[in-house]
Structure 1
């Protein structure tokens, strides 16, 4: 069947989308706004379940493995990007089922594009910080530095991803817009 924590991570991801879908269906298709709001508010419960499972797994005396680092990354990304994922899905459901306006598309150029890219990278930075905090928590639970090296390795990999993202999107679009602004003068 596989690594139990990997199965739980996959179940949490599926659970997030099931709770999100149920909340949106209740809100728009069934016209039960309160029930929809309650279900949407329950999406962070999925993250709590995963965090508790990772801590319990390590408390049982196991060595931190890649799957624990993956759980930390999942938690960081889920918390940092969760609200925007909810908003993304809500806009599409409102448009499709409740006659709402078309979903907002990201800006394609100009200062708005620069702000958008910095805001998205800021979410990544928040995800990185949350991941780091979870790694610290898991390292504290294990309490033996030799048994937590893989966690720090995954945080380093996430750092490389963040630097590539920073240079490839926010910095690139900032420089591009700055050059375009100078040529317009």
Structure 2
């Protein structure tokens, strides 16, 4: 299962880079669209494989929990990552505008960080929902406890991220030299 999660991560980036290269270097729009549309299918493959694995009697493990985390993060941050990569490809290879960078100071930076934390929270909620579905599909809470073991350390990371992200609202970063 760990290798499948790693393979899906690699597949995400291969499809994304290939899709963008096809769009901006080869200028084959239809193929590019097909490749970019297939990027989210990586999540579907991972979800389906995890369900099949669990339903076939495989012991629930933290690796299945990692698959849920991957899907949650992909759904919450995937569109943002794709947009980030698209901006850079367009600028580098197609004369597009200079990519917009995230704000580094002031209230705009604080708002950006809060938004990023909300994405992080969304990823956590999606992963928890997927783990809940896995638990229901297996039908044995005791057999699926290992799935949930990944959520405790992630909750700690989410809490630390909250403190850091929202600290900028209380004490915004100031420009250097001001």
Q: Is the 8 A contact 1:92 1:103 kept in 2?
A: yes
Match of 1:147 in 2: 143
**1:175 lines up with 2:170 in the alignment:** yes
3-state SS, counterpart of residue 60 of structure 2: coil
Structure 1 gap segments, 5+ residues each: 181-185
1:93 to 73, 89, 95: 89
Moved over 3 A (4+): none
3-state SS, counterpart of residue 27 of structure 2: coil
Q: Which deviates more from structure 2 when the two are superposed, residues 67-76 or residues 56-65? A: 56-65
1:21 to 17, 27, 32: 17
Deviation readout 1:120-171 (Å, 9 max, x if unpaired) = 11111110111011100111111111111122221222111111100012x1
**1:130 lines up with 2:126 in the alignment:** yes
Superposition deviation, residue 56 in structure 1: 0.7
Match of 2:116 in 1: 120
Give the helix-richer structure, 1 or 2: 1
* Distance in 1, Cα, partners of 2:111 & 2:15: 31
Q: Which deviates more from structure 2 when the two are superposed, residues 110-119 or residues 151-160? A: 151-160
Aligned-residue RMSD, C-alpha:
1.4
Deviation readout 1:83-142 (Å, 9 max, x if unpaired) = 011011101101110011121111011111011001111111110111011100111111
Q: Is the 8 A contact 1:113 1:173 kept in 2?
A: yes
Q: TM-score, normalised by structure 1?
A: 0.90
Q: Is the 8 A contact 1:63 1:142 kept in 2?
A: no
> Equivalent residues in 2 for 1:3-82 (5 A)?
5-82=1-78
* Distance in 2, Cα, partners of 1:157 & 1:43: 28
* Distance in 2, Cα, partners of 1:111 & 1:26: 38
Structure 2 gap segments, 5+ residues each: none
Deviation readout 1:10-59 (Å, 9 max, x if unpaired) = 11111111110111011100112232222111101000000011111111
Q: Is the 8 A contact 2:15 2:39 kept in 1?
A: yes
